[in-house]
Amino acid sequence: MQRFTILLFVFVAGCREQPGAPTAATPQVERVDEVVGTEGHSANGPQLSEAIVGGIVLKPNVVIDGKLSLLLPEDFSEMDEERLKLKYPNELRPTLVYTNESAAINVAINHTTKRMRRSEIDAFHKQMEGTYRKFHPTATWFHSGVVDIDGRDWIKLDLRTPASDTEIRNIMVGTSVDGRLLLVSFNVTMQLEDQWLEAAETIIQSLRVRD
């Protein structure tokens, strides 16, 4: 239980803008859905397609040995080992983190060693929510529950938590893959939240698992 608590705490602790990085103005989000090509896989529906949401170009990616497909911003890159260790100092850091240049926006993916069957998702949801409410009693909550994504149950937590110099919007989802907990999290600083929320939801809804 203690290791699981630390894992969850570390998973959302790494989103903060780097010192000296420029802060972009937050434009009004425009609703644009434009399909450009096809890639990726889906268990129950059509393949993922490149999309443009609010002016942000999202492209299909396949990660963790082909087990997960999702849309990611085209200008995001995989966080290098040095920055990963700096932002997630605990050894339980995520498997993969994709980030923008300033590291103010992150998509973190972690196929953990925590055993979890699909039948245990409701119980894990309650455990995860309890952990976050304990460690972040002043957080602003937007959603907590179990949702359907591509015909699969996912835990979903959406909250804004305080950080040292800003607040962080954390949208985390989790499901069982190969009998282990898979966590995917979108984190963005409050200054950029309005600009990125629609794209964040598109990324979350794009998740496709291949068992």
pLDDT digits (tens, 9 = 90+) for 157-177: 999 999 888 999 999 999 999
* Confidence bin at 211 (pLDDT 50/70/90): confident
In a domain, 180, yes or no: yes
State the Cα–Cα distance between residues 104 and 187, nearest whole angstrom: 8
pTM of the model: 0.81
Type of residue numbered 5 = T
Per the structure, the complete domain to which residue 171 belongs is given by 2-14+26-209
In a domain, 170, yes or no: yes
pLDDT at 87: 79
pLDDT digits (tens, 9 = 90+) for 84-115: 888 777 766 888 999 999 889 999 999 999 99
In a domain, 19, yes or no: no
Type of residue numbered 113 = T
Q: How many domains does the chain have?
A: 1
pLDDT at 46: 55
State the Cα–Cα distance between residues 173 and 206, nearest whole angstrom: 12
pLDDT at 85: 83
pLDDT at 25: 31
Q: What percent of the chain has a predicted confidence (pLDDT) above 70?
A: 77
Q: Residue 73 contacts by C-beta under 8 Å, 6 or more apart in sequence?
A: 56, 57, 58, 59, 98, 100, 105, 199
What CATH code is carried by the domain that includes residue 198? 3.40.1000.10
Q: How far is CA 144 from CA 95, 128, 129, in A?
A: 24, 10, 7
Q: What percent of the chain has a predicted confidence (pLDDT) above 90?
A: 67
Instruction: Point out which residues pair with 174 in neighbouring strands.
Output: 155, 183
pLDDT digits (tens, 9 = 90+) for 37-74: 335 554 444 589 999 999 999 999 999 999 999 999 99
Q: How many residues are recorded in the chain?
A: 211
In a domain, 152, yes or no: yes
Match 């291949």 to its residue by tokens. Answer: 210
User: In terms of DSSP H, where are the helices of the chain?
Assistant: 2-11, 81-87, 121-135, 193-205
pLDDT at 165: 87
In a domain, 20, yes or no: no
Query: Which of 175, 103, 162 has its CA nearest to residue 132?
Result: 162
